[in-house]
Homo-oligomer: A and B are copies of this chain.
């Protein structure tokens, strides 16, 4: 029997409360001048005290050396083995959008349900060359974002495919995303985007028989959008890529018997959480303090809370070492405030590392501290990338953190007699 199925059999419910405090892109690497990492540089008495009474270590999302995106990083963080579960790129794009237009109306965030087809799109330019239409600019001269919005609204009014509902999600510059709802859709489709200019766009093709209807719908959308864009000055077609169906994924309640809530200020993370069956709590602002306030207000209502701090990743991508240090320092008292709630288990962790010296996600183990009354602490003086390796947790797979937290919460029966 696979471990996940075994877990499902062993899990039971109690009234314990678990918090996953997630710094996106948490881990870093030494600054070339000081030799100290972001967390080693930051003055974070709250995180450090927490680490001293926790079991500390590192987490690897999908085997040593693999750098995860936010999708795989979060799936594994919530106990979903990546060999079994996947989030297509287009689904993540829809989840990450602020919202969508539908028949000319702004309808806000749309939840991709099982069987909904999602995809990334570019507004692009075609021109005639030697008797055929070829891509002259894959990004339509990097369309103004306001133009993008206007075009998405227009398309949502006029772009209709019989029997299907289309949601058009505007993005930045030339980028958008589509969500298509209707019968007989399935993933396994090639991109229409040829990835370079000077050649014609490709037709979307089904890579397996079940995807043939989805291919027809995509190609109809491309043809219809190209007609509708005929009068536009810069974009006169759309290129589609990363097409896939929202997975029929078990909820956290189905897998692990927990009623879960997400506190996140950015759409993609709310979207992933919603896909896994979490309730999305309204923070009302982008402020970290309001995230903690939301946690306090709903503390009685859920078994499991996912609280997401996005900015550590954003500044990591910019390579802004000092800013990342400063975010840890400013969030530190808020973390301490959250600990005043009566949690049974608290994990301080991340979805992946985003070291400022790399300016991107990395493969390094995610610094992690797990606290409960039954945890074995020791070995650690502060919460940072090097110290946690001396802790009692060792290096685990990300997918194992939630089962460990459930164990610390007394939510697993004994396996066998």
Listed in ascending order, the chain A residues whose CB lies under 8 Å from chain B are 1-3, 6-7, 10, 29-30, 37, 58, 62-73, 83, 86-87, 89, 92-93, 242, 355, 357-358, 360-365, 374, 376-379, 385-386, 389-392, 394-396, 400-401, 403-407, 412-417
Minimum CB distance partner of A360 in chain B: B414
A363-B404 contact in complex given A63-B3, A386-B379, C-beta closer than 8 Å: yes
User: With A and B bound together, what is the CA distance between A238 and B403 in angstroms?
Assistant: 37
Q: Which residue of B lies closest to A411 (CB)?
A: B65
Name 9 A/B residue pairs within 8 A (Cβ), A-sorted. A58-B394, A65-B407, A66-B403, A89-B417, A242-B417, A358-B374, A376-B385, A394-B394, A395-B395
* A66-B407 in contact given A376-B30, A415-B72, A416-B71 (Cβ < 8 Å): yes
Distance from A38 Cβ to chain B, minimum over Cβ atoms (Å): 12
- Report yes or no: A65 in contact with B400, Cβ–Cβ below 8 A: yes
> Across the two chains, which residue of chain B brings its CB closest to A63?
B3
In Å, the complex CA distance between A78 and B63 comes to: 16
Contact between chains at A69 and B1 (CB < 8 Å): no
Among A363, A385, A406, chain B packs the most CB atoms within 10 A around the CB of A363
Residues of the B chain whose Cβ atoms lie less than 8 Å from the Cβ of A374: 29, 355, 357-358, 362
Beta-carbon contact of A65 and B390 below 8 Å = no
User: How many angstroms from the CA of A104 to the CA of B105 in the assembled complex?
Assistant: 84
Given A62-B415, A64-B404, 20 other A-B contacts at CB below 8 A?
A: A7-B66, A10-B66, A37-B376, A58-B394, A63-B400, A64-B403, A65-B400, A65-B403, A65-B406, A65-B407, A68-B414, A68-B416, A69-B415, A70-B416, A71-B417, A89-B416, A362-B407, A379-B386, A389-B391, A389-B392
Least distance between A34 CB and chain B CB atoms (Å)? 14
Cβ contacts under 8 Å, A389 to chain B: 378-379, 391-392, 394
Q: Which residues of B contact A3 (CB under 8 A)?
A: 62-63, 66, 83
Contact (Cβ within 8 A) A376 B394? no
Cβ B362 vs Cβ A417 within 8 A: no
Bound-state Cα–Cα, A403 to B63, Å: 9
Chain B residue nearest to A66 (CB atoms) is: B415
Q: A363–B416 contact, CB under 8 A?
A: no
Q: Looking at chain A's contact residues, is the secondary structure mostly helix, strand, loop, or mixed?
A: loop
Q: Report Cα–Cα, A140/B416, bound state, in Å.
A: 26
Structural contact, B62 and A404, CB atoms closer than 8 A:
no
Bound form: Cα–Cα A7–B82 in Å = 13
Closest chain B residue to A361, Cβ basis: B414
Enumerate chain B residues within 8 angstroms of A358, measured Cβ to Cβ: 374
Bound together, the chains give a CA A364 to CA B55 distance in angstroms of: 11
Residues from chain B with Cβ under 8 Å of A401 in the complex: 64
- Provide the bound-state CA to CA distance between A416 and B394, in Å: 26
Cross-chain contact A379 with B385 (CB below 8 angstroms): no
A242 CA / B417 CA spacing, docked (Å): 10
* A406: chain B residues within 8 A (beta carbon): 65
Chain B positions within 8 Å of A1 at CB level: 83, 86
Q: Kindly report which residue of chain B lies nearest to residue A386, judged by CB atoms.
A: B378
Q: How far is the CB of A247 from chain B (nearest CB, A)?
A: 13
Top 10 nearest A-B pairs (CB, nearest first) are: A65-B403, A69-B416, A65-B407, A394-B395, A64-B400, A378-B386, A72-B416, A69-B417, A65-B404, A71-B416
